[in-house]
Amino acid sequence: MVAEVPPDADLDELRAAVQGCHGCELYRDTTQAVFGEGPGDARILVVGEQPGDVEDRRGHPFVGPSGKVLDRALVAAGIDREAVYVTNAVKHFKHRPAAPGKRRLHQTPDRTEIVACRPWLVAEFARIRPSRVVVLGATAAQALLGPAFRVTREHGVPLPWPQRAEHPEDFPGAPEAVLVATVHPSAVLRADDREAAFEAMVADLRALP
Protein backbone atom coordinates (compact mmCIF):
# COMPACT_ATOMS: atom_id res chain seq x y z
CA MET A 1 0.00 0.00 0.00
CA VAL A 2 1.25 3.48 -0.81
CA ALA A 3 0.13 6.68 0.87
CA GLU A 4 -2.02 8.78 -1.46
CA VAL A 5 -0.65 12.28 -1.03
CA PRO A 6 -2.71 14.81 -3.03
CA PRO A 7 -0.12 16.46 -5.28
CA ASP A 8 -1.11 20.14 -5.19
CA ALA A 9 -2.56 20.25 -1.69
CA ASP A 10 -1.55 22.96 0.76
CA LEU A 11 -0.65 22.12 4.35
CA ASP A 12 -4.24 22.31 5.62
CA GLU A 13 -5.43 20.05 2.80
CA LEU A 14 -2.60 17.60 3.52
CA ARG A 15 -3.53 17.64 7.21
CA ALA A 16 -7.10 16.68 6.28
CA ALA A 17 -6.03 14.09 3.69
CA VAL A 18 -3.65 12.23 6.01
CA GLN A 19 -6.66 11.22 8.12
CA GLY A 20 -7.61 8.85 5.31
CA CYS A 21 -4.17 7.34 4.91
CA HIS A 22 -4.04 3.55 4.89
CA GLY A 23 -0.44 3.41 3.65
CA CYS A 24 0.41 1.02 6.49
CA GLU A 25 -1.50 -0.75 9.24
CA LEU A 26 -0.92 1.81 11.99
CA TYR A 27 -4.12 3.77 11.31
CA ARG A 28 -6.17 0.83 12.58
CA ASP A 29 -5.61 1.22 16.28
CA THR A 30 -5.17 4.97 16.70
CA THR A 31 -7.43 7.91 17.46
CA GLN A 32 -6.23 9.93 14.48
CA ALA A 33 -3.24 10.83 12.34
CA VAL A 34 -1.17 13.69 13.76
CA PHE A 35 0.21 15.99 11.08
CA GLY A 36 2.86 18.68 11.49
CA GLU A 37 2.05 22.13 12.85
CA GLY A 38 3.60 25.57 12.73
CA PRO A 39 3.84 28.52 10.40
CA GLY A 40 3.81 27.71 6.68
CA ASP A 41 6.82 29.99 6.25
CA ALA A 42 8.80 28.54 9.18
CA ARG A 43 12.55 28.77 8.74
CA ILE A 44 13.15 25.72 10.91
CA LEU A 45 11.55 22.31 10.45
CA VAL A 46 11.85 19.88 13.38
CA VAL A 47 11.21 16.19 12.71
CA GLY A 48 10.41 13.75 15.53
CA GLU A 49 9.51 10.07 15.50
CA GLN A 50 5.75 9.60 15.82
CA PRO A 51 2.94 10.97 17.99
CA GLY A 52 2.85 9.62 21.54
CA ASP A 53 -0.15 8.67 23.64
CA VAL A 54 -1.06 12.29 24.44
CA GLU A 55 -0.54 13.49 20.86
CA ASP A 56 -2.70 10.65 19.51
CA ARG A 57 -5.59 11.69 21.73
CA ARG A 58 -5.19 15.45 21.27
CA GLY A 59 -4.29 15.46 17.57
CA HIS A 60 -1.28 17.79 17.84
CA PRO A 61 2.45 16.99 17.65
CA PHE A 62 4.73 17.32 20.67
CA VAL A 63 2.13 18.31 23.25
CA GLY A 64 3.03 15.56 25.76
CA PRO A 65 6.10 15.04 27.99
CA SER A 66 8.58 14.91 25.06
CA GLY A 67 7.09 18.13 23.72
CA LYS A 68 7.80 19.90 27.00
CA VAL A 69 11.46 18.87 26.79
CA LEU A 70 11.59 19.99 23.16
CA ASP A 71 10.06 23.38 24.00
CA ARG A 72 12.55 23.95 26.82
CA ALA A 73 15.50 22.87 24.65
CA LEU A 74 14.49 25.19 21.79
CA VAL A 75 14.18 28.12 24.19
CA ALA A 76 17.54 27.27 25.83
CA ALA A 77 19.15 27.19 22.38
CA GLY A 78 17.69 30.62 21.57
CA ILE A 79 15.22 29.30 18.99
CA ASP A 80 11.74 30.82 18.85
CA ARG A 81 9.33 27.86 19.17
CA GLU A 82 6.54 29.88 17.53
CA ALA A 83 8.64 30.17 14.36
CA VAL A 84 9.26 26.43 14.12
CA TYR A 85 7.24 23.83 12.20
CA VAL A 86 7.21 20.52 14.10
CA THR A 87 6.27 17.20 12.60
CA ASN A 88 6.98 13.49 12.82
CA ALA A 89 8.45 10.88 10.49
CA VAL A 90 5.41 8.67 11.15
CA LYS A 91 1.97 10.24 11.53
CA HIS A 92 0.19 7.50 13.52
CA PHE A 93 0.96 6.31 17.06
CA LYS A 94 2.46 2.81 17.11
CA HIS A 95 1.88 1.16 20.47
CA ARG A 96 1.21 -2.01 22.35
CA PRO A 97 -2.42 -2.57 23.30
CA ALA A 98 -3.04 -1.60 26.92
CA ALA A 99 -5.55 -2.62 29.53
CA PRO A 100 -8.51 -0.21 29.83
CA GLY A 101 -7.50 3.00 31.59
CA LYS A 102 -3.77 2.24 31.28
CA ARG A 103 -1.37 4.34 29.23
CA ARG A 104 -0.55 2.73 25.88
CA LEU A 105 3.13 1.91 25.50
CA HIS A 106 5.04 3.29 22.56
CA GLN A 107 6.61 0.96 19.99
CA THR A 108 9.30 2.10 17.59
CA PRO A 109 8.04 2.22 14.01
CA ASP A 110 9.78 -0.20 11.65
CA ARG A 111 11.40 0.55 8.32
CA THR A 112 8.26 -0.39 6.33
CA GLU A 113 6.12 2.05 8.32
CA ILE A 114 8.73 4.81 8.06
CA VAL A 115 8.96 4.35 4.29
CA ALA A 116 5.16 4.14 3.90
CA CYS A 117 4.71 7.45 5.75
CA ARG A 118 7.61 9.24 4.09
CA PRO A 119 5.59 10.84 1.23
CA TRP A 120 3.74 12.96 3.82
CA LEU A 121 7.03 14.15 5.28
CA VAL A 122 8.44 14.88 1.83
CA ALA A 123 5.27 16.87 1.06
CA GLU A 124 5.75 18.92 4.24
CA PHE A 125 9.33 19.72 3.21
CA ALA A 126 8.09 20.83 -0.22
CA ARG A 127 5.56 23.22 1.36
CA ILE A 128 7.74 24.60 4.17
CA ARG A 129 11.04 24.79 2.22
CA PRO A 130 13.06 25.13 5.45
CA SER A 131 16.55 26.56 5.61
CA ARG A 132 17.22 24.71 8.89
CA VAL A 133 16.24 21.14 9.71
CA VAL A 134 16.41 19.43 13.11
CA VAL A 135 16.22 15.67 13.28
CA LEU A 136 15.25 14.22 16.68
CA GLY A 137 16.49 10.67 17.16
CA ALA A 138 17.02 7.57 15.05
CA THR A 139 13.60 7.21 13.41
CA ALA A 140 13.58 10.75 12.00
CA ALA A 141 17.22 10.29 10.95
CA GLN A 142 16.35 7.05 9.22
CA ALA A 143 13.44 8.65 7.36
CA LEU A 144 15.57 11.48 5.99
CA LEU A 145 19.19 10.35 6.03
CA GLY A 146 18.84 6.58 5.64
CA PRO A 147 19.33 3.56 7.88
CA ALA A 148 23.13 3.89 7.99
CA PHE A 149 23.03 7.30 9.71
CA ARG A 150 24.03 7.23 13.37
CA VAL A 151 22.82 10.04 15.64
CA THR A 152 25.43 8.94 18.20
CA ARG A 153 28.20 9.67 15.69
CA GLU A 154 26.94 12.79 13.93
CA HIS A 155 24.78 14.62 16.47
CA GLY A 156 25.43 18.34 16.66
CA VAL A 157 27.26 18.40 13.32
CA PRO A 158 25.80 20.83 10.76
CA LEU A 159 25.19 18.82 7.58
CA PRO A 160 24.31 20.12 4.12
CA TRP A 161 20.68 19.52 3.21
CA PRO A 162 19.36 18.08 0.90
CA GLN A 163 22.80 16.82 -0.20
CA ARG A 164 22.98 14.46 2.77
CA ALA A 165 19.47 13.10 2.22
CA GLU A 166 19.21 9.37 1.52
CA HIS A 167 17.18 10.36 -1.54
CA PRO A 168 18.05 13.97 -2.46
CA GLU A 169 15.96 13.53 -5.62
CA ASP A 170 12.85 13.62 -3.40
CA PHE A 171 13.59 17.26 -2.56
CA PRO A 172 13.88 18.95 -5.98
CA GLY A 173 14.40 22.71 -5.84
CA ALA A 174 14.88 22.64 -2.05
CA PRO A 175 16.80 25.67 -0.81
CA GLU A 176 20.35 25.06 0.40
CA ALA A 177 19.78 24.22 4.05
CA VAL A 178 21.60 22.96 7.12
CA LEU A 179 20.50 19.89 9.05
CA VAL A 180 21.45 19.06 12.62
CA ALA A 181 20.63 15.75 14.29
CA THR A 182 20.19 15.34 18.02
CA VAL A 183 18.68 12.83 20.42
CA HIS A 184 14.95 12.40 20.75
CA PRO A 185 13.56 14.28 23.79
CA SER A 186 12.28 10.97 25.21
CA ALA A 187 15.93 9.89 25.52
CA VAL A 188 16.47 12.93 27.75
CA LEU A 189 13.52 11.82 29.90
CA ARG A 190 14.95 8.29 30.19
CA ALA A 191 18.55 9.35 30.88
CA ASP A 192 20.11 8.68 34.32
CA ASP A 193 21.45 12.23 34.30
CA ARG A 194 18.59 14.15 32.70
CA GLU A 195 20.21 17.53 33.12
CA ALA A 196 23.41 16.44 31.32
CA ALA A 197 21.36 14.82 28.53
CA PHE A 198 19.28 17.99 28.21
CA GLU A 199 22.39 20.20 28.04
CA ALA A 200 23.87 17.91 25.35
CA MET A 201 20.68 18.28 23.32
CA VAL A 202 20.78 22.07 23.67
CA ALA A 203 24.44 22.09 22.60
CA ASP A 204 23.47 20.15 19.46
CA LEU A 205 20.69 22.63 18.68
CA ARG A 206 23.10 25.53 19.12
CA ALA A 207 25.15 24.08 16.23
CA LEU A 208 22.43 25.37 13.88
CA PRO A 209 23.80 28.46 12.17
Region near ligand URA per CB under 6 A, out of 57-65, 76-84, 108-116, 170-178:
57-65
Residue 48 in contact with ligand URA, rule: CB under 6 A = yes
Looking at the Cβ atoms of 11 and 169, the one nearer to ligand URA is: 11
Residue 52 in contact with ligand URA, rule: CB under 6 A = yes
C-alpha dihedral sign at 153, 208, 165, 66: positive
**8 A C-beta contact, residue 90 and residue 138:** no
Residue 50 in contact with ligand URA, rule: CB under 6 A = yes
Footprint (CB under 6 A) of ligand URA, residues 79-98: 88
Region near ligand URA per CB under 6 A, out of 2-10, 45-53, 124-132, 151-159:
45-53
DSSP reduced 3-state for 36: coil
CB neighbour burial string for 35-51, b if at least 16 within 10 angstroms, e if fewer: bbbbeeebbbbbbbbbb
Residue 66 in contact with ligand URA, rule: CB under 6 A = yes
Residue 182 in contact with ligand URA, rule: CB under 6 A = no
**8 A C-beta contact, residue 5 and residue 14:** yes
